[in-house]
Amino acid sequence: MDTVFIDGLSYGIPLLCIAIGGIYSERSGIINLALEGLLGMGAFTGSLFVAFFGGFFVQHSSVPMYFAFLFAMIGGALFAMLHGLLCVKLKANQVISGVVINILAIAFTGFFTRQLNSQVFGQPSDRINLGVSVRFDIPFLSDIPIIGAAFQRVYPFQLVIIAVVVLSWYLLYKTRFGMRLRACGDNPHAVDGAGISVAKTRFVAVMISGALAGLGGMSYAYSIAASFSPGIYMGTGYLAIAALIFGNWRIMPTVAACMLFGFARSGGQRLSHLLELPASYSDLIFTLPYVVTLLVLIFFSKSNKAPRALGEIYDKGKR
Amino acid sequence: MKIKRLLRSIIGGEKRQAFIIPLLAIFCSLVVSALLLLSMGRNPFVAFQSILAGAGVLAKPNYAGGRGMVTDIMMTLAALTPMIFASLAVTVAFKGGLFNIGISGQMLFSGFLATILVGYSDLPSYVAIPLVLIVGAVAGALVGGLIGILKSKFNINEVVSSIMLNYIIMYVISFFILTRYVDSITRNSSAINASARLVFQNFMIGPYRAVLPVFIILAIGAAIAIKFFLDRTRMGFDLRTVGLNTQAARYLGISPQLNIMFAMTFSGALAGIAGVMHYLGYNDMIPPGSLSSIGFDAIAVALLGNLNPIGTIFAAALITVISQGTTYMSSVLDIQREIAQVITGLILLFSACGAFLRQLLSRTGERTE
């Protein structure tokens, strides 16, 4: 039971980070299917830092890891500017732009990882090895029976992300910037009427989205994958989108959705372990998060309300 | 203003835009790719030349015994066939206002069903081949139809649901291949019988051994038929109307729900045919746990082909030449072959900007004329 909690959280919390990135973008009115590519690009940037500068730090130091997270956020945000440019400035179709970004990110990161490995590090490989981050128990809290498991063997990034989540909740709901951002998604004309640039607000929202996706992607690179490789593109970005739709584009319900996906995954793995299924059955277990997502969407998609101006290109002259 | 006018004089009116904008997208992406190659110390002209040579469009300096340019070009045509079908699938869905990104999953599903139902049977060719095509189309249509139902009845974004289905199909089929149909040496699914294969193998053209991809004719025929369907028939008109404006379609008495389902089923069927062309034609087995990149490249092709079925043929040829020729280029230049994906991605990126260019120009037109 404990492992279900521990693994579920270590998968669900980065997913939440990516989903909140999606919320920022979509509440500002920009459909963001690019999360998958953004999380990969972020993780790639962070891994690149470790590959080049990791050697300058004391061995087993966790300092490069924190730098990697910082760079992942920067990389994600910078790459998200491309999505912002296409959607806001160039008025491209937002769905197409998102998919283009994903394909481009997968191609770029895959190519450069291979090229760097063979040219700079002299070994043909498609991955940058990072190792797994240290884990620790939170004192006192982890001793509580049952729910204490949630505080055992915690990755440091989980705490970082929780802090980021609280911060982004505050930013979105309690500040003037957040209010304007949400207004951009519901009634951009009103925002424009108030003398605030819709384009700028949306652009910033997309960049925040990229930074959060990058942070989430880097967390996977430091936990489940233990490396950066094309294997990081396992549809997490799309799961995050499903989670935020399920969560009705609001942060708190999305937290619940992400935890559900996390526990579906870890619960399935635990179940196959308990039933002593042969290794080939793991393929079937892997489908669980996707099946749960589809089912959840079937039951909840109809009743929920997307931001009213979601996906619409803002045109000043249009009424 | 001056720049816009200059652009306009290059690109011309709406008729010419259909050709010039895709060409511009290709040109821009080749320039960026060339810069990328230059920055890595490679000669971009040698690179592009060896891509063409690898795909059989230009001659290589030397060939292995029994092989020639015709061997390579036939292989490229064999790879082109599924690409055209996949791009037509994207195009049809797009015209109906839908984005079918689940083509890879639909291809895998149809390829797998056709492999186990027909590919492993001892049926003679004249029964097996039509059966493969039918099974492929029906299997693809089922998956596409499911996505259509999810969209029209449950309001689920088709991009999200098709990605989920992609992963589910990939893992479930990987499970079946690894537990039942695996070839112990290759670790792929066992090879299908030659009688069910859609690309005829070991054909002699003069002194050269080559494959014979006869179904390229079917692909081109399908493109022409779909062009006719979309432009000249009532159903095609309904489909396009829903794609352009759901509200207007409703006022005209056209049911958006019905058309969404129809467009996705049709698109899925085309993707299914692409699947059998790929897995039971170009290939004769299925690697477990992976999706073909054709389904994603097809999006680039459809956009580049201006969402016109005829344009799709040319765009598909270009993208196929790039992906087929890169293996040879990567051996000539000692560069990773994933560069093909990067070039395709760049073409996709610049094609996506095409809409902006078109809008920009139409506005300039209003002001100047």
Q: Residues B20-42: pLDDT tens digits?
A: 888 888 899 999 999 999 988 88
Tell whether B55 is covered by a domain: no
A280 contact residues in B (CB cutoff 8 A):
175, 178-179
The number of domains in chain B is: 2
Nearest C-alpha in A relative to B171: A283
Tell me if B336 and A301 make a contact (CB, 8 A cut-off). no
For residue A83, the model assigns a pLDDT of 94
Tell whether B99 is covered by a domain: yes
Based on the fold, state whether residues B10 and B102 are members of the same structural domain.
no
CA pair distance B318, B324, nearest whole angstrom: 10
- Mean pLDDT over the full length of chain B: 89
- CATH classification of the domain holding A22: 1.10.3470
For residue A292, the model assigns a pLDDT of 87
- CATH classification of the domain holding B297: 1.10.3470
For residue A180, the model assigns a pLDDT of 93
Residue B14's pLDDT band, with cuts at 50, 70 and 90, is low
The number of domains in chain A is: 1
CA quadruple A116, A118, A123, A127: dihedral, nearest 10 = 40
Tell whether B97 is covered by a domain: yes
Residue B364's pLDDT band, with cuts at 50, 70 and 90, is low
Based on the fold, state whether residues B213 and B358 are members of the same structural domain.
no
Residue B363's pLDDT band, with cuts at 50, 70 and 90, is low
Residue B362's pLDDT band, with cuts at 50, 70 and 90, is low
CA pair distance A130, A221, nearest whole angstrom: 7
- Which residues constitute the domain of residue B166? 64-325
Question: Best mutation site among A35, A91, A96 for testing chain B: the one with the most B CBs within 10 Å?
Answer: A96
Please, are residues B341 and A112 in contact by the beta-carbon 8 Å criterion? no
Based on the fold, state whether residues B103 and B174 are members of the same structural domain.
yes
Tell whether A107 is covered by a domain: yes
Based on the fold, state whether residues B208 and B339 are members of the same structural domain.
no
User: Is residue A40 pLDDT above 90, yes or no?
Assistant: yes
Tell whether A180 is covered by a domain: yes
Please compute the mean of the pLDDT values over residues A112-136 and round it to a whole number: 81
Q: Where are the alpha helices (DSSP H) in chain A?
A: 2-27, 35-53, 63-84, 94-119, 156-174, 176-186, 188-193, 198-222, 236-246, 251-274, 282-286, 288-300
Based on the fold, state whether residues B202 and B251 are members of the same structural domain.
yes
Tell me if B352 and A96 make a contact (CB, 8 A cut-off). yes
pLDDT digits (tens, 9 = 90+) for B53-81: 999 888 888 888 778 888 999 999 999 99
- Which residues constitute the domain of residue A279? 2-133+150-300
- In chain B, pLDDT over 90 holds for what percent of residues? 57
Residue A269's pLDDT band, with cuts at 50, 70 and 90, is confident
Tell whether B54 is covered by a domain: no
Tell whether B313 is covered by a domain: yes
Based on the fold, state whether residues B351 and B203 are members of the same structural domain.
no
Based on the fold, state whether residues B242 and B315 are members of the same structural domain.
yes
Based on the fold, state whether residues B162 and B304 are members of the same structural domain.
yes
For residue B223, the model assigns a pLDDT of 97
Structure tokens at B203: 């054909």
User: Is residue B225 pLDDT above 90, yes or no?
Assistant: yes
Please name the member of B166, B175, B344 whose beta carbon is closest to the beta carbon of A280. Answer: B175
pLDDT digits (tens, 9 = 90+) for B272-311: 999 999 999 999 999 998 899 899 889 888 988 888 999 9
CA distance A109 to chain B (A): 9
Please name the member of A92, A118, A287 whose beta carbon is closest to the beta carbon of B352. Answer: A92
Q: Which of residues 40-99 of B touch A (CB under 8 A)?
A: 40, 99
Residue B11's pLDDT band, with cuts at 50, 70 and 90, is low
Name the least confident of A52-61, B73-82, B103-112.
Answer: A52-61
Which residues have CB under 8 Å from B233's CB, separation 6+? none
Based on the fold, state whether residues B9 and B155 are members of the same structural domain.
no
Tell whether B52 is covered by a domain: no
Nearest C-alpha in B relative to A35: B160
Comparing B12 with B149, the larger pLDDT belongs to B149
Tell whether B188 is covered by a domain: yes
For residue B368, the model assigns a pLDDT of 43
- Mean pLDDT over the full length of chain A: 87
Tell whether A157 is covered by a domain: yes
Please compute the mean of the pLDDT values over residues A41-65 and round it to a whole number: 84
Based on the fold, state whether residues B287 and B367 are members of the same structural domain.
no
Tell whether A143 is covered by a domain: no
pLDDT digits (tens, 9 = 90+) for B331-350: 888 888 888 888 888 988 88
Based on the fold, state whether residues B207 and B79 are members of the same structural domain.
yes
